[in-house]
Amino acid sequence: MRLNQYIAACGVCSRREADRLIEAGEVLVNGAPARLGTSLRGDETVTVRGKVVESQQTSVVVAWYKPVGVTCTARDPHADKTVADAFRYPVRLTYAGRLDRDSEGLLLMTNDGNLIDAMMRGSNGHEKEYIVRLRSRISDGELHRLEKGIFLRELGKTTKPCRVERLGDRTFRIVLTQGLNRQIRRMCRALGHEVRTLKRIRIVNIELGALKPGQQRKIEGEELQELYETVMTQDAGKKRK
């Protein structure tokens, strides 16, 4: 097994983040600094940031209401509060997908590295639903432009078509199937609007529901099965292509 795959399987982070940790010299194999592309036989001791990591026996997925002001990062000297500071669970979990510091709402926490990889691969087209409130009124024409796709000059990309529903003069619901950095805020800014509040209320089939900021619930049963069937099937389909 590749080292980055093993670290992800242990629920530490995604494979991409594991590669960054390896490059930064924060991963040791049998006490020696690891290299990108390292393969494991199975009897090695792997240490990440000074802690020995081991494969998880049972996968856990938790829905958590991330409050405003919490940064999705494991370590950031410039962040007032990180996920590691705000989220607590008996088993070590990490986030599958991100929410920016000024946004709130649903964040999936898990120790399943394969699920994390599949969720963070933007090309898989997983639905994510948000409620957005602006500081100024948005017109029907502008909502239609959001649906069709907005060119983001700073990223040099046009957003994919999405679903938008008006909820009020300054409020709308939006369902995305991609995850560009601060995408909704950038889309609104391109139309001359500033986001006042941004809340994610659904990821695939998992809903925020009645959770309050800081609260969590474990995903189990049919709800968990549907999440895996949807996410992993889409991921496998993309890889075959």
Nearest to 100 by CA among 181, 207, 215, 192: 181
Report d(CA 82, CA 72) in Å as an integer.
6
For the question of residue 112 being annotated catalytic, the response is no
Alpha helices in 10-155, H assignment, sequence order: 15-23, 83-86, 113-120, 140-148
Contacts of 76 (CB under 8 A, 6+ apart): 82
Give the DSSP letter of residue 2. B
Nearest to 218 by CA among 93, 71, 57: 93
Give the DSSP letter of residue 163. E
State the DSSP string of 69-98: T-BS-S--TT-SSBHHHH---SS--EESS-
Report d(CA 43, CA 92) in Å as an integer.
22
Active-site position among 80, 85, 100, 102: 100
Kind plus residue range of the DSSP H or E element containing 240: helix 221-240
Interaxial angle between packed helices 113-120 and 221-240, expressed in degrees from 0 to 180 and rounded to the nearest 10: 60
CB of 140 within 8 A of CB of 166?
A: yes
Catalytically active residues are 100
